[in-house]
Structure 1
Amino acid sequence: MARGKTPWAATSVPTIRRQWCEAMDQTVRARVAQMQEARAQLAAADAPRGSARRVRQAIDRVSAAVSEMGDDAAALHEAAMYWVSRDMVGVVHDAAAGLPEWTPAAAVPASTGLLCWARPIGDVPYGPGAESGGGHSVPWDALFWRTRSDGLMQLVPASRLAHDSGLETPLEMWSPVYPAHSILLNPNHPRTQEVEGDPAAQPFVSIVGAAWLLMSQANVSTLRSIDSGAAPGTEDKSADRDTDPSAGEPGPVSDPRRPQPPSTVTLVELRPRTASGDKASRGSRSRTDARTHRWPVAPFWRQQACGPGWSQRKPVYVVEHERGPRDAPLLPKDRVHVLRR
């Protein structure tokens, strides 16, 4: 199918979700028809018993994959929608590098969701071997997640394949985004693999955790909702690709904490800084304070235990700030950059 013209903007997220669902539904219908034809041919053929058994096993495996894709499409159709602004993408990317162990169940903003980055936040493996960190790397543009009936959480990073359009050909369908791969994790177990450098770990999981955690911190991000419920085919044509939420004249703003209609998109934006706010000194002069200077403190994560028996972890991000008496002069720290082979 030909590539569509859906702009990459916050107001288009409901359309992106609908088109992705339609692509999966189309694939499911095509695979079901193929399996029905294969079963009919197998029943009519006079094949050896062992060969017939192997064919049936192959059909059963395909059937299970098709059933799972159908479940994915049904969950995506009901997924909460999020758009992460360009400046917030950079904050998430940098914060993920130092993320300590965290628990998905304590951080996830909704049981099922679709999150779109205003600009690619990095690359993810795509194709055969991607689940183990191999495969072809593609820009990471979106994330779909759902909690399955067995309690496991499924993460599906997706790409627009903006620079790899040739990868669309084998799919025999068009979609605004294409799933790069899929992994399952236990949402109640703290993620330690990425922190410990486990070879089986995938760096994109830390970015997911950082995004979810920062979305819940009012000192870092702001959340506002827009109702982008335009009728199909009436999306704003003035919005450019890779635009921020302000582009495209979003609809009425609503409270993201209240129940939202299916067309509502939650905008995740970087909290504006003020002269007396985030970068202000956290200390204050007192009779016992003998410090004579302020000094900058780089952002860092502070670990926080939570959940049943304090078994879960929900880190808190401490933004860049200054320490010392408010009226003391700032003493900048010298930085030395070391280049190693």
Structure 2
Amino acid sequence: MPRKKNDWSPYSMPAIRNLLWESQMSEWDRFMDLLEAGKRPRGLSDVAIGARLSLYQGAESIRAAEMYWVRPAMAEAAMDASTDIPFFNPAVERPAPHGVMAFERPLPPVEPGSDAQPADHYAPGWAPTAQPVDLITWWSFEGSQVFLMWRRDSKTSHGPFEPSTALVVPETKIVEFDQFAQPGHRALLAMIGSAWVMMQTPTVAERRAVTPSGRPTERGRQDKLPTDVTLVDLRSLRHASTQTSETETGRTYTHRFVVRGHWKQVAHGPGRAERRPAWIASYVKGPPDAPFRHTEKVMVWRR
């Protein structure tokens, strides 16, 4: 399918969501045809077949998913924060039960495959090599939170997008990152949790809605679907005065620099007996008129 010059922007998100849904439903139709014909897909056990069925059935939620467009600075901040996020609960932190999150610039390549309960049944044969992540879709299905990662590729049988990695966690329980065998999957899930928390923190993220003009027809169905796209960007860092600290310590700052944010646990829930992670935003320190000490940022999966 040929690409248009402007087909990767917040305004193309309804069309992107429709293509993702069509891709999953086409795969679902093909898979069901094989099962009805008594042709078990090669190498798939009964457990793996059940996992795939739940994956494709849940993909119906994509067509009604909320849409998010993540700017590069926000993605970089979420990746940095993901290295030490302690935990997260999908049911508490997700911005919507079903979502499509697109990254203006792709995330670094992630090792292929899947992790689930039990592991490695959701995506056998997908993406034989590590692939960058352009999109993440998620939905709830039978008590689980399902995540599916996608890369852009106009030459695949799935159309312009190819699924690469599937992750499945309990929907209402705290995610334990150590349950995932592959370090890249632990890092990716931590990034998702970090992005969810940070994009809903007003001191960290700036969110605004954009409304694409028109909406593509989806297999002739006229249901009312979400049409606004939430554009998520990193808010400008606040500046912290150093006058008091210089007076107390005798230290003189000659540059401005960024003090990295950090995670803390805050009480919530009945009787405030539960905990959830909160990101305390980074800030700039140093004299307002001093030169800024800049360091290059490289996005790398670490967990």
What TM bracket, shorter-length normalisation?
0.7 to 0.9
TM-score, reference length from structure 1: 0.66
2:216 corresponds to 1:232: yes
Can you give the 5+ residue segments of structure 1 that lack an aligned partner in the other structure?
40-53, 234-259, 336-341
Q: In 2 relative to 1, CA 271–318 (structure 1 residues): closer, same or farther, beyond 3 Å?
A: closer
Corresponding residue of 2:276: 313
Q: Deviations over 1:69-102 (max 9, x none)?
A: 4423311011111000122222222222233333
> For the residues of structure 1 that align with 2:180 and 2:65, how far apart are their CA atoms?
32
Aligned twin of 2:259: 298
Match of 1:25 in 2: 25
SS, match of residue 313 in structure 1 = strand
> How do 1:181-200 residues align onto structure 2 when only pairs under 5 Å count?
181-193=165-177
Matched, 1:144 2:137: yes
Q: 1:70 to 1:135 in 2, by over 3 A?
A: closer
Alpha carbons of structure 1 residues 219 and 129: separation in structure 2 relative to 1, 3 Å: closer
Structure 1 or 2, whichever has the larger Rg, is 1
Question: What is the DSSP-based 3-state SS (H/G/I as helix, E as strand, rest coil) of the residue aligned with 2:165?
Answer: coil
Q: Percent identity?
A: 21
Distance in 2 (alpha carbons) for counterparts of 1:204 and 1:99: 12
Question: How far apart are the structure 2 equivalents of 1:185 and 1:199?
Answer: 15
* Contact 2:115 2:181 (8 Å CA) reproduced: no
Task: Report if the CA contact (8 A) 1:3-1:174 is conserved.
Answer: no
In structure 2, the CA distance between the partners of 1:65 and 1:190, relative to structure 1 (3 Å rule), is closer
Where does 1:164-243 land on structure 2 (aligned, <5 Å)?
165=155, 168=156, 173-193=157-177, 202-232=186-216
Equivalent AA in structure 1 for residue 265 of structure 2: Q
Cα deviation code 1:282-312 (max 9, x no counterpart)? x6759xx744456656213131233445333
Matched residue, 2:146: 154
Equivalence for 2:102: 116
Tell me how far apart the structure 1 counterparts of residues 129 and 283 of structure 2 sit (CA, whole Å): 36
Count of residue pairs brought into register by the alignment: 271
- The alignment partner of 1:109 has SS state of coil
- Any idea what the Cα deviations from partners look like across 1:229-256, whole Å, max 9, x if unmatched? 42439xxxxxxxxxxxxxxxxxxxxxxx
Post-superposition offset of 1:59: 9.4
Question: How many angstroms apart in 1 are the aligned matches of 2:45 and 2:134?
Answer: 33
Tell me the amino acid that sits aligned with residue 263 of structure 2: R
1:196-236: per-residue Cα shift (whole Å, max 9, x none)?
99766621111111211110121221010111142439xxx
The offset of 1:135, in angstroms, is 5.2
SS at match of 1:157: strand
Q: Hey, which of these two has a bigger chunk of strand by percent?
A: 2
Checking the alignment, whether the CA contact within 8 Å between 2:215 and 2:227 is kept in structure 1 is: no
The aligned residue for residue 9 of structure 1 is 9
Please state whether the residue corresponding to 2:106 is helix, strand or coil. coil
Tell me the distance in 2 between the aligned counterparts of 1:91 and 1:314: 16
In structure 2, the partner of 1:47 is none
Match of 2:53 among 60, 67, 83: 67
Tell me if the contact between 1:103 and 1:314 (Cα under 8 Å) persists in the aligned partners. no
Whether the aligned pair in 1 keeps the contact of 2:54 and 2:141 (CA below 8 Å) is no
CA distance in 1: counterparts of 2:49 and 2:180, whole angstroms? 36
TM-score, length basis structure 2: 0.73
Of the structure 1 ranges 309-318 and 16-25, higher mean CA displacement relative to structure 2 is found in: 309-318
The residue type equivalent to 2:274 in the other structure is: S
With over 3 angstroms needed to count, the CA separation of the structure-2 counterparts of 1:7 and 1:290, relative to structure 1, is same
